[in-house]
Amino acid sequence: MSEPLTSNVRSHIVGTTAVVYASDYLNKLTGERIERECKKQLDSGCRTLVIDFSDTGIVNSIAVSILLGIIDIAEKREARVVFSDVNDQTIQLFEMLGVIKHVVLAKDEQEALNLFTPPTQTQAMSH
């Protein structure tokens, strides 16, 4: 039985940055959902993708290849990719597979937003 289409990927926009939230278990299905959301945000004009891993416990190998595809798409569109809130185990996996060389790591979503968002927008968000 197929999974319901209602399980969409959460995301929001800050300026020209899209924050996309990864699921607790990143596999083929959830990775493809994240990929679709990232493509949609790039198509709508976003210049930076922040993929937030704060809820992610496990990333499997298929999901890693999907993430590399997202990075490739973003690079072709001259957009940046930032991974935030990545746990130590996943960072080790990304380092071993060479993913880290292609993204910026941020300790949390706010740090990721501060990297590429003008200070006036960031300050406005905190009030």
Q: For 106-122, what is each residue's pLDDT tens digit?
A: 999 999 999 976 665 44
CATH of domain 11-116: 3.30.750.24
DSSP E strand boundaries for the chain? 11-14, 17-21, 25-26, 48-52, 58-59, 80-84, 104-106
The model's pTM is 0.86
Look at 78 and 8; give whichever has higher pLDDT: 78
pLDDT of residue 30: 96
pLDDT of residue 116: 77
pLDDT of residue 119: 62
The 10s digit of each residue's pLDDT in 57-92 is 999 999 999 999 999 999 999 999 999 999 999 999
Q: Write down the domain spans for the chain.
A: 11-116
pLDDT above 80: residue 19: yes
pLDDT of residue 8: 76
Task: Specify whether the CB–CB gap between 45 and 13 falls below 8 A.
Answer: no
Residue 18: pLDDT band with limits 50, 70, 90: very high
* Nearest of 24, 23, 25, 20 to residue 36 by alpha carbon: 20
Whole-number Å distance between alpha carbons of 105 and 86: 8
- What SS3 class is residue 59? strand
**What is the number of alpha carbons within 13 Å of residue 43 lying toward its C-beta?**
6
